[in-house]
Structure 1
Amino acid sequence: MLETLSIRDMLLIEAAELRFRPGLNVLTGETGAGKSILLDCLGFVLGWRGRGAVRAGAAEGEVTAAFALPPGHAAGAVL
């Protein structure tokens, strides 16, 4: 399960940390609020090729995700 998504200096986002809870998590907001940027950043940590851009004035951007696996989960063997 995705537990946190931390973003620094990506497009419009100077710094953000989202914490997810078990169950359904919903992102809402007005047009242009940055929902698609959040999803693109999640895609970066999953290995998608991105159209991402570093925020204007920043030397680099950073996206970090923390995942938790239940004991015995098959992905644990790969990791």
Structure 2
Amino acid sequence: MLSRIFIQNFALIDTLEITLNKGLQVITGETGAGKSIILGALRLILGERADAKSIQNSATKSIVEAEFAINDNLQ
């Protein structure tokens, strides 16, 4: 389960950290609020190729990190 995502210098996001708890998580917002940018960062974490256009400031590096909680009790 995804438990945390950290994004820095990616698209329009300067710095963002989201901590997700157990249960249903919903990200809502108006058009242009950045929901698609968060999904784009998750796609990078899952192995999609990065596009240099996604880096907000080319003078600094872009960071996308995720933490996953691993459950040993898989059924």
Encode CA deviations 1:41-77: one digit per residue, 9 max, x unaligned. Answer: 011001123446111364221100000111254xxxx
Matched, 1:68 2:69: yes
Matched, 1:22 2:22: yes
Change (3 A) 1:57 1:48: closer
Return the offset for 1:23.
1.1
The RMSD of aligned alpha carbons is: 1.9
The whole-number CA distance in structure 2 between the counterparts of 1:13 and 1:71 is: 34
Matches within 5 A, 1:49-60: 49-51=49-51, 53-56=54-57, 58-60=59-61
User: How many residue pairs get matched?
Assistant: 74
Higher relative contact order (CA 8 A, sep 6+): 2
Matched, 1:2 2:7: no
C-alpha contact 1:43 1:50 (8 A) present in aligned 2: no
Q: What fraction of aligned residue pairs are identical, expressed as a percent? A: 40
Structure 1, gaps ≥5 residues long: 74-79
Report the TM-score when normalising by structure 1.
0.82
The whole-number CA distance in structure 2 between the counterparts of 1:58 and 1:18 is: 25
Structure 2, gaps ≥5 residues long: none
The whole-number CA distance in structure 2 between the counterparts of 1:49 and 1:57 is: 17
